[in-house]
Amino acid sequence: MSDQGTLDVVRVRFSVPEAHTLRETAHGKRAAAGAVGQRESWTYEEIGPAGELVARYEAWRHTPEGRLKPLEGWRKMAPDGATIGGADHGYGE
């Protein structure tokens, strides 16, 4: 799981308010299916001051063989699972 320094970076990336708690709920690393390279993913939950689930986040990084810069992105989901934000970086380059 993430240490506090890493969570602080993630908090800024996702614009999580200071009054909310951010916790990592999953992390995985594996070889990319059908491709050479590695995929890594993380899942986080944002918890409000009253203990309510505010949002879930998924982040990922894929570094194909021969590529210097990884492909990465994230998405923000409402408690009901609807996607409400996110970004992909490095695709189409």
Domain ranges of the chain: 4-89
Q: Which amino acid is at 52?
A: E
DSSP letters of 17-61?
-TTSEEEEEEEEEEEPTTSSEEEEEEEEEEE-TTS-EEEEEEEEE
Strand partners, 87: 74
Mind listing the pLDDT tens digit of every residue in the chain (93 residues)?
A: 556 668 888 899 899 999 999 999 999 887 655 556 778 899 999 999 999 999 999 998 887 777 777 888 889 999 999 999 888 765 444
Q: What is the rounded distance in angstroms from the CA atom of residue 91 to the CA atom of residue 81?
A: 24
Confidence at residue 57, expressed as pLDDT on a 0 to 100 scale: 95
